[in-house]
Amino acid sequence: MRRFARFYGAHPLHLLAVLFSFALAGYAVMVVGPQNLWNPDVWWKSIAVWFLGAVIAHDLVLFPLYALADRSLRSGLDAMRGRRRPRPRAVPALNYIRVPALASGLTLLLFLPGILEQGADAYLAATGLTQEPYLDRWLLLSAAFFALSTLAYATRLALSRNDSGAVSRP
């Protein structure tokens, strides 16, 4: 097992998950049909073009950006921690910022066409509503994500203080 992990660079379950992902993607292409992934009339409206564009945009633009943001967040938290007195059992805040930021970013991708009012005429004709509330709803949802994360962090911090107090008492 160690030889495999040293050769491959990860646990064998990682390779199994990657192979399963490729098999699932291949099955999806088989079900949809490869001919339906390409629009011969308007090439930029093809599913294949948008998929490849998303892969390139993620790997070359988005991943470096959120890696930089994560590194900045980590160094900022380390700098703040350096100025304060160390606690006996500190609860790291990093994941309590990462998770709501990720959820907010993913919901932004989901609501972005509505926020930018793309297809406003078709949306109005189909629903009888405007797309104006999308930005407000996304902001409220993001605020709820961060509020829940703050509440979870405060709860975890309070529980860790109680645990450290119980351990130190004879």
Evaluate if residue 163 carries a pLDDT over 80.
no
Burial readout 103-140 (b: 16 or more C-beta within 10 A, e: otherwise): bbeeeeeebeebbeeeeeeebeeeeeeebeebeeebee
Give CA angle at 76 (143, 99), nearest 5°.
35
Write the pLDDT tens digit of every residue in 76-122: 888 887 766 655 567 888 899 999 999 999 999 889 989 998 888 98
Give the per-residue pLDDT at 79.
Answer: 85
DSSP state of 89: T
pLDDT over 90 percentage in the chain = 46
Write the pLDDT tens digit of every residue in 15-60: 999 999 999 999 999 999 988 899 889 888 888 998 899 999 989 9
H or E element that contains 8: helix 2-8
Give the per-residue pLDDT at 166.
Answer: 54
**Cα→Cα distances 112→34, 119, 133, 138, Å:** 28, 12, 12, 9
